[in-house]
Chains A and B, each alone.
Chain A
Amino acid sequence: MSTFAGVGGEHSSHRCQQLFTQIKYFPLYWQNKKLVLIMNLISGIKLYIEKMCTESGPGMKIILLDKETTSIISMAFSQSDMLQREVYLFERLDSGRSNERLKYLKCIVFIRPTKQNIQLLANELRNPKYSAYFIYFSNIIPRTDIKYLAECDESESVREVKELYADYLCVNPNLFSLNLPNCMANLNWLPDSLTRSVQGITAVLLSLKLNPVIRYRAGSQVAQLLAKLIYDQTTKESSLFDFRGNVDGAAPPLLLLLDRRDDPVTPLLHQWSYQAMVHELLNIRNNRVDLSERPNVPKEFKELVLSGDQDEFYGTNMYANYGEIGSTIKQLMEEFQRKANDHKKVESINDMKNFIESYPQFKKMSGTVQKHLCIMGELSSISNKRNLFEVSELEQEIACKAEHSAQLQRIKKLIADERVDIDDAVKLVALYALRYERHANCDTSGLLQIIKTRGGNTQIVPALIEYAGTHVRQGDLFNMVRITDAVKLTRILIKGLKGVENVFTQHTPLLKETLEDVFKGRELDPMYPAINSELVPFRRPPQEVVVFIIGGATYEEAFAVHQLNNAGYRVILGGTTIHNSQSFINEVLTATSGTQFKHTKSMLKYCSPDNL
């Protein structure tokens, strides 16, 4: 219309049309007036740190951290990210302090509000080494501590004191951990772990601005206690938790506190999705993989950072399975080689310029490919050496199908096989013991005898039964349904009819089923009662769910949560730690230490730890 008018508009009618110009707007995102809460843990932390860096203004900065906040920051930011924000030095408040005074530096203090930290910070403020202090606590701090610090700031160097709730380790956008590898002893909370869990979950809720309905797994002492303490915290700090007061009548978010003991199987299984597999075989700690112990690893790959945020390849492929990753890497390699070949043919000066100009990306890409190639090489050599394909297939069979005698024969054969790692053999027996605990012909003792003759640690199996045997479990972990539950039975039948796509990935964690029930609006009260039931909406499923597993989450469950998120739900998963089978077994052993074994009388002779 505009050009038309510009050319032939002789008539006044045309001019009338031109008198008012049309303004067309692109749909702005706020016009779609649906307030969608975005729940991304990594950006939650990042935004907080960003805030610290901007609030402290321009100038050279040092950041003063404690052990835990160091890990928290390192999960979200790389060193060069911090350099860009003018943070040039890192210092630990709790160790290796020097007395060097650098009065031209500003100091960002980011610490957990522990008694020890407060004392150390007070000392620092009495004798300040830097020109200005911007103090950020990662959690709720008592007023008396603030008063104490204020009395110590005699040279007026403090410019800000704030609570910013970045008090958890963001592993993935939907997964957080509290790095508590053992949270129980004598089948009850370790007091420190309990406090840390309350703080961690409170911080997650505050950083995502959620004031949730709190549900806990019925019958679990630990879950109930945690729920109560979190509830107390939210009511005590009600002004902090006063977010958008349900204006649009949406159901409030849900905090679901689960107990690892409901599903001891998932952490025991060998996993084949990339992130889970790397953790199982190579152990991921704070997004870092330590390969220094492995032979034939190039020097620059001794410690690898696996962060989906900084490593695009990893970000897109962390949930892909072993086979998929292999072919993706092959593609990437080809692409990389093509590029590398291109550059070998640098003929003119222009070519050279182009090469230099694409250099940063080039280098980044080659680094990423080589890194993942290195990891994949390690994974494949371990899998072959430990005969993992065969072991894993049987693991999956035990977890998903009930065929007692056939499976028993296969287990007997496999665990006697010297090629099978003794730890894998123990895990197979543990899975068998969990599955057929109440089976008439259960032969756990016989299997344990074989393990014992091979010199394995038999203590694990009875400990696991004590920790998570049928007497504690809720929900139907192994789909042992009675005929009366028609709906469930049909579902299982349909599942059976569809056949198995991949023998290595038949098992889906119990968590997925639980969450599906939540989102379908099924009745939750009997199994997951709410502690603040006044918030519970009438038969409306929540929009956002934060799940916390006491006793540790797994990467396989994170994958399940990721699938749900892709399907449009919003779920965040957390755990006292992120387990692989080894760390889970350690957790079970510590958790059951000091208890009297009541349910494993038949295995009594395998309980003593003397054959370790």
Chain B
Amino acid sequence: MSGNPFDSTEEEPSASSDEILEGFLCPICRADLKSIDFLTEHFARQHAEEQDALKSVFKDIFTKAKQKILNNFDDERIRVPSAASPAASASNAAGSNGASAKPSTGRAQLNLYQNMSKQTVGAERSYFDYFQTVRNPRLERYASETNKLIIRLHRLLKDLPTDAVQRKQHEQQTVPWLDGSSVKLCPSCAKSFHIARRQHHCRLCGGIMCNDCSRFLQLENALHLASLSSTRGEPLQQLQHPDYRAIRLCQHCLWLLDTRQDMHESRTCRPLLAQVYEEIRQLQKQVTPDLEMYLKIVNSLHEGESIFTLADAGALRGKIGQVAEKIDLRSKRILTIHSEPGSREEALKKAIRLSCVQAIKERMLSLPPLPDEGYIRQIQERKRIETEQRILTEQRMAMEAHERKGLTIQAGVTPESRSFAQGSDLQSLNNWSAPQASTTVTMVDDPLIEQINIIKGYIKQAREDLNFDVVETLELNLRELQREVYERQRQSSSSARTAQLDS
């Protein structure tokens, strides 16, 4: 309800209360906005994020309609408090019950478990800032070093000659090799160099090491790292000697490059499993509002309201069933993705499947069943009779009050106003069609009636799209507009009558 700026701006239905606030109050922040214009504006600006895009489209329509109405009623600005929408009041009541639940005392009772929601999360302390101040400078240093290496690698590979002698020359040109004449020991393993243990150079930093301490980066990996296309590498692949198909590196340079590649991989890694899983999550996310809506519809049907029909609920249920099937299918598909038996991935797949089955069982298949049609008609009938009786008694009371004041009401007005009164009061009933049919003929040029017809069209469309959130908002708006029409009619008729009396 709170999604609609008009429904909730001024009236907040309630049965019991502690304090009474008067004025143009925002229902959310309770600020007094002094006038309806300020309030609407405030609500649109401050609480806009609570409405989705679709609703805001409708809101604009209503704002226009509202303005027209307000222009007509410029000086009066009367808002009739609407009777509480049963669904809203029910949920409010439930909320208040929950809030005021008293701790029961009894040996066997333990409702401490229910207090959960009110406890706030305990103390915590984050070290991440400190962690970053230690980590990031190091990482930056590594990153710049790695970047340098990659640039060198790029230059090295860009036009690497296939001939061994030329290649060596090219390598030395790109990265100057350290002078090895004074280096007697391998810097990494500390073994002395001699005829059998020759000096080698890292092709990226030019450092010296022995053959045992050398590492090799395969050319294809190197090309990939240097982001050169592999076509460039093709002639290089033809090289016969295995030593030539790789680049000699020192341990440190290789480690830097490996880490870079690793980070890149982990950031972009999206295997089939992850993709299907994301689909499942997406579906689950989509179905959540539907589940809530379904429960709402079933409740509303049980309440005897006419906002939703049985067909609505059936359609929605079907849709939920379809989503459940889709989820089931995808989770089965995850199981079929190949992985090593006994591996963690295998366990992961099973766990995902298990959670999907659980979610489907607990959330989608355990939905309450729909009431049957006869039952609904029964409730609606009973409700209608109740409301009618209430109206009758109220009318009687109103008349008595007037009689006491010595004012007599002309008999001719009552039947007409009664039928309208019914319509305005019966939020829950659709018996507006009769009086409205007549009005549409006579007052086609009325913007309000036009609006009503437009909204009816929208409702139909939203129903077809199973967009029940919108259906609800629109239905409630429709009722509001219908009440406006009634108000106006009543007012004009009463002013006509006062004119009559005056004359």
**Partner-B contacts on A (CB < 8 A):** 1-8, 10, 15, 18-29, 31, 38-40, 42-44, 46-48, 50-51, 58, 60, 62, 80, 83-84, 88-89, 91, 98, 100, 102-105, 128, 130-131, 140-141, 143, 146-147, 149-151, 153-165, 173-174, 206-209, 240, 243, 308-309, 315-320, 324, 328, 353-354, 356-361, 562-563, 565-568
Contact = CB atoms under 8 A, between A and B. Distances in A.
Task: Give the 4 A-B residue pairs with the shortest CB-CB distance, closest first.
Answer: A24-B17, A207-B122, A8-B398, A150-B134
Contacts of A161: 126-128, 131
Given A26-B96, A88-B348, A151-B138, A163 B398 contact: no
Contacts of A88: 347-348, 351-352, 355
A320 B107 CA distance: 7
Contact of A165 (B108, B122, B351, B394): B122
Given A155-B263, A156-B135, A157-B266, A102 B124 contact: no
Interface in B7-49: 10-12, 14, 16-23, 25, 27
Given A8-B401, A154-B142, A208-B122, A103 B265 contact: yes
A47 B113 contact: no
A150 B12 CA distance: 54
13 contacts: A2-B82, A8-B409, A15-B76, A23-B25, A26-B95, A26-B99, A40-B119, A43-B119, A62-B348, A98-B344, A103-B265, A160-B126, A162-B128
B81 A47 contact: no
Contacts of A83: 351, 354-355, 358
B359 interface: yes
B95 to A, nearest CB: 7
**Size bin of chain B's contact surface:** 35 or more
A164 B348 CA distance: 27
Most chain A beta-carbon contacts within 10 A, residue among B22, B76, B124, B367: B124
A357 B368 contact: yes
B139 interface: yes
Contact of A6 (B122, B132, B421): B421
A373 to B, nearest CB: 18
B126 A25 contact: no
A92 to B, nearest CB: 13
A39 B19 CA distance: 31
Interface string B67-85: 0000000001111111100
B149 to A, nearest CB: 15
Nearest to B93: A26
Interface string B81-122: 111000000001001100110010111111011011011111
Given A38-B115, A163-B124, A316-B108, A26 B14 contact: yes
Interface string B358-383: 11011001111100000000000000
A103 B24 CA distance: 56
Contact of A5 (B80, B99, B127, B345): B80
Interface in B249-293: 259, 262-263, 265-267, 269-271, 273-274, 277, 281
B394 A7 contact: yes
Interface in B116-170: 116, 118-128, 130-132, 134-135, 138-139, 142
Given A100-B343, A155-B263, A324-B108, A60 B125 contact: no
Given A27-B100, A40-B116, 14 more contacts: A5-B80, A18-B80, A24-B12, A39-B119, A46-B116, A89-B347, A102-B348, A128-B266, A156-B139, A208-B122, A309-B113, A319-B107, A357-B369, A359-B366
A18 B394 CA distance: 17
B429 to A, nearest CB: 14
B440 interface: no
B395 A60 contact: no
Nearest to B356: A83
A513 to B, nearest CB: 19
B260 to A, nearest CB: 9
B425 A173 contact: no
Given A6-B421, A60-B277, A131-B267, A163 B125 contact: yes
A151 B132 CA distance: 10
A3 B391 contact: yes
Interface of B: 10-12, 14, 16-23, 25, 27, 76-83, 92, 95-96, 99-100, 103, 105-110, 112-113, 115-116, 118-128, 130-132, 134-135, 138-139, 142, 259, 262-263, 265-267, 269-271, 273-274, 277, 281, 343-345, 347-348, 351-352, 354-355, 358-359, 361-362, 365-369, 390-391, 394-395, 397-399, 401-402, 409, 417, 421, 424-425, 494, 498
A157 B12 CA distance: 50
Contact of A89 (B119, B121, B131, B348): B348
B113 A173 contact: yes
Contacts of B80: 2, 5-6, 18
A89 B351 contact: yes
A60 B274 contact: yes
Contact of A150 (B109, B135, B348, B362): B135
A149 B131 contact: yes
Given A7-B395, A104-B269, A44 B122 contact: yes
Given A6-B424, A21-B11, A51 B121 contact: yes
A42 B114 CA distance: 11
B78 A18 contact: yes
B21 A23 contact: yes
A23 to B, nearest CB: 5
A22 B361 contact: no
A138 to B, nearest CB: 11
Nearest to B352: A88
A308 B126 CA distance: 32
A104 B110 contact: no
Nearest to A5: B80
Contacts of B361: 359-360
A25 B16 CA distance: 8
A308 B110 contact: yes
Contacts of A40: 112-113, 115-116, 119
A507 to B, nearest CB: 16
Given A8-B399, A8-B401, A154 B81 contact: no
B382 to A, nearest CB: 19
Nearest to B14: A24
Given A156-B263, A206-B122, A27 B96 contact: yes
A42 B395 CA distance: 57
Contacts of A357: 365-369
A60 B105 CA distance: 43
Contacts of A207: 122-123
Contacts of A80: 354-355, 358
Nearest to A350: B369
Contacts of A149: 131
B298 to A, nearest CB: 12
Contact of A21 (B76, B79, B83, B273): B79
Most buried by B among A6, A104, A308: A6
